């Protein structure tokens, strides 16, 4: 099972591809036989004694036993603990309704801001942008957001200031941007200074010193979705030399 999974790491898999749970042919007699356990991430699903691929993408592996499918989808499914960019769509009583790009709008309590009390309400208007994280994200329940961490600190979350541009990219690019040693990010750093907020729901917010620069960054990132590393480097170099 492990070996069959490991053999196909970094290969493109399609929904319907299968792995069976059968044990390996050879079992060492000297070492104690320990049961194999694989942790399946997104895109892999267990069905009886088989492991079925349910998303198209590249199979990834992290030692010792984590496997997942790296896909390029654009549809967001809320997951607990992820930070997203939301748009406030309604204020009703003591909760805000926030659009996060999922199937359902998330709710955000007015007390879930740093320093908010019953008398000291946060200043949030309909149409404002928020950076928040999910504290409840179930498939059967309405997702719930919070703009504070567990210790009650804002920790970078909250309502956005004025200016900047919001745009959408694929979830794959978002993950590439957020990776610890992100090549896209380091390429971007060579251009001009900008503020960048990355939401796991595929929304990016950019603010730079001028509108022209903001537009350039937004268009560059949107085109990064479908480019190879070489093409991207070439394009960024071109921009750096002032071709645009």
Tokens of 171: 């979830």
The answer to whether 241 contacts other proteins (rule: CB under 8 A) is: no
Work out the angle at residue 183's Cα, subtended by the Cα atoms of residues 149 and 63, and round it to the nearest 5 degrees: 70
The answer to whether 87 contacts other proteins (rule: CB under 8 A) is: yes
- Contacting other proteins within 136-175 (CB under 8 A): 160, 162-166
Tokens of 150: 């567990």
Q: Which residue from 160, 156, 158 is spatially nearest to 146, judged by alpha carbons?
A: 158
Instruction: Give kind and range of the element (H or E) at residue 237.
Output: helix 229-240
- Provide the 3-class DSSP secondary structure of residue 216: helix
Answer for which of 119, 230, 241, 242 binds other proteins (CB under 8 A) is: 230
How many angstroms separate the CA atoms of 72 and 172, rounded? Answer: 5
Instruction: Compare residues 56 and 182 and give the one whose CB is closer to other proteins.
Output: 56
Dihedral angle, C-alpha 113, 118, 122, 123, nearest 10 °: 160
How many angstroms separate the CA atoms of 86 and 128, rounded? Answer: 8
The answer to whether 215 contacts other proteins (rule: CB under 8 A) is: yes
Answer for which of 101, 143, 199, 202 binds other proteins (CB under 8 A) is: 101
Q: Closest approach of Cβ 126 to other proteins, in Å? A: 8
Q: How far is CA 89 from CA 66, 106, 120, 124, 163, in A?
A: 38, 10, 21, 11, 19
| Stretch near other proteins under the rule CB under 8 A, chosen from 16-24, 41-49, 149-157, 226-234 | 226-234
Q: Closest approach of Cβ 7 to other proteins, in Å? A: 8
Instruction: Compare residues 9 and 23 and give the one whose CB is closer to other proteins.
Output: 9
- Contacting other proteins within 60-79 (CB under 8 A): 72
Instruction: Compare residues 111 and 167 and give the one whose CB is closer to other proteins.
Output: 167
Residues that bind other proteins (CB under 8 A): 10, 12, 56, 58, 72, 87, 89, 99, 101, 103, 125, 127-129, 160, 162-166, 205, 211-212, 214-215, 218-219, 226-230
């Amino acid at each position: 099972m492990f070996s069959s999974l490991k053999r196909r790491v970094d290969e493109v898999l399609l929904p319907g591809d299968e792995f069976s749970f059968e044990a390996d042919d050879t079992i060492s007699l000297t070492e104690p036989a320990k049961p194999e356990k694989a942790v399946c991430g997104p895109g892999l699903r267990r069905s009886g004694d088989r492991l079925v691929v349910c998303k198209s993408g590249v199979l990834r592996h992290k030692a010792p036993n984590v496997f997942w499918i790296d896909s390029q989808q654009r549809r967001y499914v809320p997951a607990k603990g992820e930070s997203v960019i939301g748009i406030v769509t309604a204020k009703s009583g003591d909760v805000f309704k926030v659009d996060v790009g999922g199937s359902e709008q998330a709710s955000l309590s007015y007390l879930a801001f740093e320093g908010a009390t019953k008398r000291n309400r946060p200043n949030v208007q309909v149409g404002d942008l928020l950076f928040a994280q999910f504290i409840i994200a179930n498939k059967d329940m309405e997702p719930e957001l919070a703009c504070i961490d567990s210790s009650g600190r804002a920790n970078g979350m909250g309502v956005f200031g004025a200016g900047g541009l919001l745009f959408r990219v694929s979830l794959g690019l978002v993950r590439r941007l957020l990776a610890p040693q992100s090549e896209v990010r380091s390429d971007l750093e060579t251009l001009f200074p900008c503020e960048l907020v990355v939401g796991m729901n595929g929304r990016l917010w950019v603010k730079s010193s001028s509108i022209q620069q903001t537009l350039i960054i937004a268009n560059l990132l949107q085109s990064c979705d479908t480019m190879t590393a070489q093409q991207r480097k070439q394009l960024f170099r071109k921009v750096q030399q002032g071709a645009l």
